[in-house]
Amino acid sequence: MFYFIGFVLLSCEKDRDYDTFTGHESTGLPVAIISTESSVDEKENYINGGIEIIGGDNFRDAGQTPIEIRGRGNSTWWLGEVWGKKPYQIKFQNKTSLLNMPADRRWVFLSELSDKTFIRNKIARDLGALSVLDYTPKLEFVELVLNEEYQGVYLMGQKVEVAENRVDLPEDGYLIEIDQAYRTDDDDVYFRSNVFPAINEENVFNIKYPDTEEGADSYELIENYIHRFEAVLFSANFDSPTEGYAAYIDVNQMVDWYVIQEIAKSVDARWYSSIFFTYVPGGKIKMGPLWDFDLSFGNVDYADSEFTDGFWIRQNPWINRLFQDPVFRTKVRNRFDYFNSQLPTILEKIDGYALQLEVAQEHNYDEWETLGEYVWPNPVWYDTYQEEVDHLKGWITDRMQWLNDNL
C-alpha cells in the first residue's frame, strides 16, 4: 500500500506559505515541497512520498500528490554527496503537468552545484528552441524543500525518455545514447560502433528505447544500420548526395546539433556521453535531444573545452569526417551565422534569468556556501553571483567571436 505523508499549510496566504516551508519570504520562484517516508540516499530504488507546489509569480499551485523519488545523475550525484545538495528524479502514478510543461510521469530536479549561475542548462535549451531539432527538454527554476529542509535553487523539468510529450517515437523507433560502458546499468543493452572505440574503448551505443536484448532482431537492426552508416561515412564516395552520408542522417539536424554543442563546448558531447540520437526504420538518424550542459560554456578545469578558442566537438569522429565535405561546412557556417545573430537575445536572456534568480540565489548560497569556493570542476570562481553571471556572458561572447573568425 502506498505510504503518503501529508502536508499542513499554516496559512492560506501565499507569502506565509513560502515562509513556512522555506524560511524566507517569496522569491517569486515556484517552491516544490517534497516529503518522504525515509531519506533519499540512493539512485537505484524509489521511495514513497508526496509533492506539493507553490506556483510563485508565474505558475498555478499544485496540490498534494503521491510520488516516488530517488537520486539521479553520475558526477552530479557524487558531488551532491560531497556538498549535501543532491539531484533527484520523481515519478507520479499518472501523467501530471508541472509548471505548464506537458504532462508525464517522470521529472528531474537538477541541483546545478557546479554551475553557480544555474543558467547554463537553460541557455542550452534556449539554443535548442532556435534549432530544427525535433525536441528539446523543458526546464523551470524552482526552490526545493525536502522533508522540511530548504535545499535551494534547482532546475525542475523533463527527462530524456520516449513519451508522447517528449521523444515521440513509434513502437519500432530507437533512442540511443553514446556513453561509456562503465557508466551503464546492469540491465542496459548496448553495442559498439566501428569508429568510436578507436577513440576510447569504453564507448558504447546504449539502446535507451525500445526494450531489447543482444541478438534480438531489433538489436541487430540498429547495430547494422550504424555499421552501414559508418562504412559509408568513411568511404571514398561519402559526400555523394544520394549514396553518401546524407542518405543515413538528417543533415540539417546534425548541423544544428553540432553548432549548438560547439558554441557551448559541452565537455562530454565530443564523444564521451549524453550524445543522444533517434532512428526510425526507413528514416534517418536524427540528433538530439540536447542534454547535460552544467559543464559547458567554459565550466570545466580538466579539458580544453574550458577555453573560448579552439574547436572541441569537431573532434567527434562523425563530425570530423563530415567537415571534409565542403557542402557540410557551408551548412555549418550558414547556421552558425544564424545563431550568432541571436547573441544579443541570448545575453538578454541570461540577464533576465539572473534577475529572476536575484533573491533566490541569495537564499541558495546562504544554505550552500559555495560562492568564492572551488566546486568541481570550476576553472574559475568568484565571490559574488553577479560576477559568475558576467563571466558566463563574457565567455559566450568571446566564444562566438572565435567561431565567427575560424569556422
Query: How far apart are the C-alpha atoms of 221 and 230, rounded to whole Å?
Result: 14
Tell me, yes or no, whether 83 lies in a domain: no
Q: For residue 329, is it within any domain?
A: yes
Q: What is the dihedral of CA 74, 78, 81, 87, to 10 degrees?
A: -20
Whether 219 is in a domain gets the answer yes
Say what the pLDDT of residue 9 is: 32
Domain count across the chain: 1
Query: Does 21 map to a domain?
Result: no
Contacts of 173 (CB under 8 A, 6+ apart): 162, 209, 210, 278, 279, 280, 281
pLDDT per residue of the chain (407 residues) written in tens, 0 to 9: 333 333 333 233 444 467 877 888 889 999 999 999 999 999 999 999 999 999 999 999 999 999 999 999 989 999 999 999 999 999 999 999 999 999 999 999 999 999 999 999 999 999 999 999 999 999 999 999 999 999 999 999 999 999 999 999 999 999 999 999 999 999 999 999 999 999 889 999 999 999 999 999 999 999 999 999 999 999 999 999 999 999 999 999 999 999 999 999 999 999 999 999 999 999 999 999 999 999 999 999 999 999 999 999 999 999 999 999 999 999 999 999 999 999 999 999 999 999 999 999 999 999 999 999 999 999 999 999 999 999 999 999 999 999 999 99
pLDDT for 396 equals: 98
Which run of H or E residues covers position 142?
strand 139-146
d(CA 299, CA 301): 7
The predicted pLDDT at position 17 comes to 66
Q: Whole-model pTM?
A: 0.94
Residue 378 placed within a domain:
no
- The reported pLDDT for the residue numbered 18 is 77
Question: Could you say which DSSP state residue 152 is in?
Answer: E
Strand 31-36 and strand 139-146: the pairing is parallel
Q: Which residues pair with 286 in a beta bridge?
A: 278
Instruction: Judge whether 103 lies within some domain.
Output: no
Range of 286's domain? 174-339
In a domain, 267, yes or no: yes
| Cis peptide bond upstream of 210, omega within 30 | yes
In a domain, 89, yes or no: no
60 secondary structure, DSSP code: -
- Residue 268's DSSP bridge partners are none
∠158-286-262 over CA atoms, to 5°? 80
Q: For the chain, what's the residue count? A: 407
